[in-house]
Structure 1
Amino acid sequence: MKAKETFLRIAGIIGGCVVLFLMISFVEKRELGYRIDDIDVEIENAFENFFVDEDDVMSLIMENEGDSILGDQFGRVSLKAIERRIESHSFVKDAEVYRDLKGHLVVKAKQNKPIARLMGTRGNNAYVGEDGDLLPVSSKYTARVPVVTGAYVNEMMKLSNVHEGEYDVKVYDLINYINANKFWTMQVGQIDIDSKGYVVMYPQVGKLRMEFGQIEDVEKKFKKLEIFFKQILPTKGWDAYQKKVNVAFKDQIICD
């Protein structure tokens, strides 16, 4: 009796393995049977940033695939390899490639969003991405973001990501602070940082120097700048102080 139960158990296991093998083979054959009829490209943030377009993505898809992969069997096309090629583009943050029920190859690409542009004293330029990575400038599009200038930028340009440097992280946080506040986004057009990390900001319009000093006590300093713009200038007159406002020192607002 025990021998019979053992035989049936073994036979059941073997039968299950055979069925599983046949199912896998069927799925693989069915997958191989599907062909790529069309390619649908979707680019996230396409209306905010124009650093990557459909032609760029298509060029990456076709790379090493000859003239086209249209008509190829899905099972013979490595979707992961296509994802990696698309993500190799500097301005592509993430890519997802899959097949839909219509037999289309669907490509979803998420753009890297620049938060600032670095302009060094040696003519070198780059963008800072939202994750802190340094991105090359593009001939296709110029982002409307704060410009960071000065000798310190030359040091930042040596990094691949601003999180690699302690003071560079502070610069990154300062940029994000400005971009997160609509008032300061409208006010600040340029952030100049000298070799010692001293910050002077300039408005979108005009030549007023906003001397910020070292990147510390950021909220308190912006609060003082807010007092200057929203209380002092309306009271004293908008033409009263046109040269500079200094908030670098504790508990002081120096106007000229």
Structure 2
Amino acid sequence: MKFFTWINIRLVLMFSLVIFLYSFTSFKNNHRKIAKVEVRFLNNDTPFVKAETVNKLLIEKNNNTKTFTKETLVLNKLENSINQEQLIQKAEVFVSVDGVLKAVVKQKTPLGRISAENSSFYIDYEGDIMPFSENYTARVPLISGEIKNVKKEKLAQVLRTIYEDEFLQKNIIGIQVLPNGSLILENRNYDFGIDFGRMINIDRKFNNYKAFFQKAVADSTLNKYRMINLKFTQQVVCIK
């Protein structure tokens, strides 16, 4: 049987042509000039960081991105430069087929605000410190008191529960940490305090508070109380 048949020769030629076209396309694609830079924020309702800031971080690492080719870009290096910004949680950088350098950015989410004598900052969704922004101020509960006496993970859990609940987010505007680690919450529209106790049974306590609040609003009795005690998970104790 002859190996060099016409059919085999055609297959080899076609295969070689495919390899050539693929290599040529890859070469052209890698050497294409960057047409422009685009920045997109996943949570643009809280503009802590401006697109110009992200652009600047990209340009500083590459002098002038528009003169670069796709081959010379190190995308991981660009992502790391953006992720070093303290207000950014995560960034993804890639180049589209039409030569656009794109950065998709997720900003950090502040859950609480701490204003101390020596420093002021946010607590973010993970319970870590997040600096203030010159561009935007978040409306989150103000945290005061003996913050060093509580674990950041437990405090972040309380703050996440408030943030993720529409009623609590509108209702709770302040958190005071007592020396023993207990919490006193402040209500937006009424003068009573909310004795939350220690940071245990968090969901149960907040559910009890929401149920009590709805009933007390219907009965027009909220203005009669000076303290709402949530320490006991089986009941809500009201103090006049």
Give the unaligned 5+ runs of structure 1: 1-17, 157-166
1:218 offset after TM fit, Å? 2.3
Structure 2 CA distance for aligned equivalents of residues 102 and 220 of structure 1: 53
- 1:50 corresponds, among 44, 47, 52, to 47
**Which deviates more, 246-255 or 108-117?**
246-255
Partner residue of 1:124? Answer: 119
Structure 2: tracts of 5 or more residues without a match: 1-15
How many Å separate the matches in 2 of 1:125 and 1:155?
18
Q: Percent identity?
A: 21
- The alignment's C-alpha RMSD in Å is 2.9
One-letter amino acid of the counterpart of residue 83, structure 2: E
For residues 32-77 of structure 1, give each alpha carbon's deviation from its aligned partner in whole angstroms, at most 9, with x where no partner exists.
420111111111111x2111111110110011422x2212222112
Distance 1:45 1:127 in 2: 17
Letter in 1 for 2:152: D
* Other-structure match for 1:145: 140
- The 3-state SS of whatever aligns with 2:101 is strand
Over 3 Å counting, the alpha-carbon distance change for 1:100 and 1:227 in structure 2 is closer
Q: Structure 1 pair 80/248, CA: closer, same or farther in 2 (3 Å)?
A: same
Residue among 91, 97, 102 paired with 1:101: 97
For 1:50-199, list aligned pairs within 5 A: 50-66=47-63, 68-120=64-116, 122-152=117-147, 154=148, 167-199=151-183
Q: Give secondary structure in 2 for the equivalent of 1:89.
A: coil
1:7-32 Cα offsets, whole Å, 9 max, x none, are xxxxxxxxxxx999978964663244
Q: Deviations over 1:111-135 (max 9, x none)?
A: 2222222334x34222222233321
What residue identity is the alignment partner of 2:185? M
On the 8 A contact 2:182/2:198 being kept in 1, the answer is: yes
User: Structure 1 residues 51 and 183, CA, compared in 2 at 3 Å: closer, same or farther?
Assistant: same
How far is 1:217 from its partner? Answer: 2.3
> Structure 1 residues 214 and 36, CA, compared in 2 at 3 Å: closer, same or farther?
same
2:231 is the counterpart of 1:248: yes
Instruction: State the secondary structure of the residue aligned to 1:85.
Output: helix
Distance 1:118 1:23 in 2: 60
Counterpart code for 1:179? Y
Alpha-carbon offset, residue 234 of structure 1? 4.0
Are the equivalent residues in 2 in contact too, given 1:118–1:128 (CA < 8 A)? yes
2:122 aligns to what SS in structure 1? strand
Distance 1:231 1:206 in 2: 15
In 2, distance between residues paired with 1:228 and 1:107? Answer: 46
Cα distance between partner residues in 2 of 1:43 and 1:200: 35
* Alignment CA distance shift 1:134-1:23 (3 Å): farther
User: What residue number does 1:41 align with?
Assistant: 39
Alpha-carbon shift at residue 91 of structure 1 (Å): 1.9
